[in-house]
């Protein structure tokens, strides 16, 4: 058997991250009540590759794992044990503290977004883009049009703190936000 190259090892780690996320989210659906949840983290990762042209394995692993700590029984220590300290750090930066009230968590995203690492900013931008595009085609169960509009406006506040990270993601976010008459400050 031949020794694996660094790129082979990275690809193997990325496949393990996708599998880990799929198992962690296996019983979850998106807020529309129909779509398998795993479509979201895979879509976030895919957007990073296709639109942002990001090929950094740690960033891509973090993208596919970004909701596991927040929305499953996975701990941040589990992330580090399986994927290392760098992936752990990125995931931690984009994970909300679910012990806090929802409005406080949302405000903390606005406050913290300018101060997270470049990799975490990429994951956050891709996550917002995926969610906004999703809202344009599928309204979550129980959401009104006003709530969708509020999500777009709040997302713009978070995105404002991430500007300067990736031109392609930011241009697409500006285009999508404009569909709901929302603009960025920058």
Active site amino acids: 70-71
The span from the CA of 160 to the CA of 50, in Å, is 22
SS3 state at 58: helix
SS3 state at 81: helix
SS3 state at 77: helix
Paired with 36 in beta bridges are 29
Is the distance from CB of 59 to CB of 119 less than 8 angstroms?
yes
The token pair that represents 134 in the structure block: 């999703």
The span from the CA of 44 to the CA of 64, in Å, is 7
Which residues are CB-neighbours of 170 under 8 A, at least 6 positions away? 125, 159, 162, 163
For residue 130, which phi and psi values (nearest 5 degrees)? -60, -45
């Amino acid at each position: 058997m031949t020794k694996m190259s660094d790129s082979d090892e990275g690809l193997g780690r990325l496949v393990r991250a996708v599998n880990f996320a799929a198992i962690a989210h296996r019983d979850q659906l998106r807020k529309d009540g129909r779509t398998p949840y795993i479509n979201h983290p895979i879509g976030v990762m895919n957007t990073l590759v296709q639109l942002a042209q990001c090929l950094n394995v740690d960033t891509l692993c973090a993208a596919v794992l970004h909701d596991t700590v927040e929305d499953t029984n996975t701990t941040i220590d589990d992330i580090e044990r399986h994927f290392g300290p760098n992936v752990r750090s990125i995931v931690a930066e984009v994970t909300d503290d679910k012990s806090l009230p929802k409005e406080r968590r949302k405000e903390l995203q606005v406050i913290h977004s300018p101060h997270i690492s470049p990799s975490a900013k990429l994951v956050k931008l891709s996550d917002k883009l995926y969610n906004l595009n999703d809202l344009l085609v599928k309204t979550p169960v129980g959401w009104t049009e006003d709530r969708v509009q509020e999500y777009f406006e709040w997302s713009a506040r978070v995105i404002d703190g991430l500007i300067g990270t990736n031109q392609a993601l930011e241009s697409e976010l500006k285009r999508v936000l404009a569909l709901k008459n929302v603009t960025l400050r920058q």
